[in-house]
């Protein structure tokens, strides 16, 4: 198990939900994908989510989609891709999308905490009782800003510096799932 930062607010709380980033974490990253037919899962994504649901955890999805603000995809296309993902891995208890561009200075675009806080509110769970799983430093930063735990699962888009600044790094979605289940059983 990775070394954990016991100074975070979330370190002593049992995990009740997992929030996943979409692109690069659950699905192969395809920039500005608006076509549900092009959704390709990362290895063992469906199994990981089934295992977490089987343990009684709620599952959420958060995604930055600047392509909406840039006019490259529509909100309806993003919904269609998210729905296809749900068809492949099972339903999400909450889905939150940031449609803004980096220059919009919104509070929902990761690494801001807005998506995480909104997902936690949707689930009726304090952010300290959820884990954010993502492939970028922005995912981890959003979790930290919201007071949640996080696990980085590095992928092709992950920068080396992002892996050095995080508390928990997993080599795969399967390894991240094992860590979440360990936390959910009240391990610290």
Residues serving a catalytic function are: 21, 23
- Residue where the block lists tokens 């974490």: 25
pLDDT confidence tier of residue 1, bands split at 50, 70 and 90: very low
| Integer CA distances (angstroms), 49 to 41, 46, 59, 133, 182, in order | 12, 5, 8, 12, 15
pLDDT confidence tier of residue 148, bands split at 50, 70 and 90: very high
- If one compares 187 and 44, the residue with the highest pLDDT of the two is 44
Among 78-82, 127-131, 182-186, the minimum mean pLDDT is found in 182-186
* pLDDT score recorded for residue 7: 37
* pLDDT score recorded for residue 108: 96
The predicted-structure confidence for 63-117, as pLDDT tens digits, reads as follows: 999 999 999 999 999 999 999 999 999 999 999 999 999 999 999 999 999 999 9
Arithmetic mean of pLDDT, 114-141: 96
- If one compares 6 and 145, the residue with the highest pLDDT of the two is 145
* pLDDT score recorded for residue 188: 52
pLDDT confidence tier of residue 167, bands split at 50, 70 and 90: confident
Yes or no: say if 71 and 94 are a contact pair by the CB < 8 Å rule. Answer: no
CATH of domain 17-183: 3.40.50.1000
Nearest Cα residue to 32 out of 89, 84, 71, 85: 71
pLDDT confidence tier of residue 6, bands split at 50, 70 and 90: very low
* pLDDT score recorded for residue 10: 46
């Amino acid at each position: 198990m990775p070394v954990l930062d016991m100074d975070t607010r979330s370190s002593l709380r049992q995990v009740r939900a997992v929030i996943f980033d979409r692109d690069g974490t659950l699905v192969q990253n395809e920039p500005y994908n608006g076509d549900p037919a092009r959704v390709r899962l990362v290895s063992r994504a469906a199994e990981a989510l089934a295992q977490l649901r089987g343990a009684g955890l709620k599952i959420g999805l958060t995604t930055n989609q600047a392509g909406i603000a840039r006019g490259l995809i529509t909100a309806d296309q993003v919904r269609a891709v998210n729905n296809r993902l749900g068809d492949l891995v099972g339903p999400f208890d909450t889905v939150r999308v940031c449609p803004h561009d980096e220059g919009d200075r919104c509070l929902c675009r990761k690494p801001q905490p807005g998506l995480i806080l909104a997902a936690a509110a949707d689930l009726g769970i304090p952010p300290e009782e959820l884990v954010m799983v993502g492939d970028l430093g922005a995912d981890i930063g959003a979790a930290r800003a919201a007071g949640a735990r996080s696990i980085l699962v590095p992928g092709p888009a992950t920068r080396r510096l992002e892996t050095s600044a995080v508390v928990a790094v997993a080599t795969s979605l399967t390894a991240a799932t094992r860590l979440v289940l360990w936390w959910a059983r009240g391990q610290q």
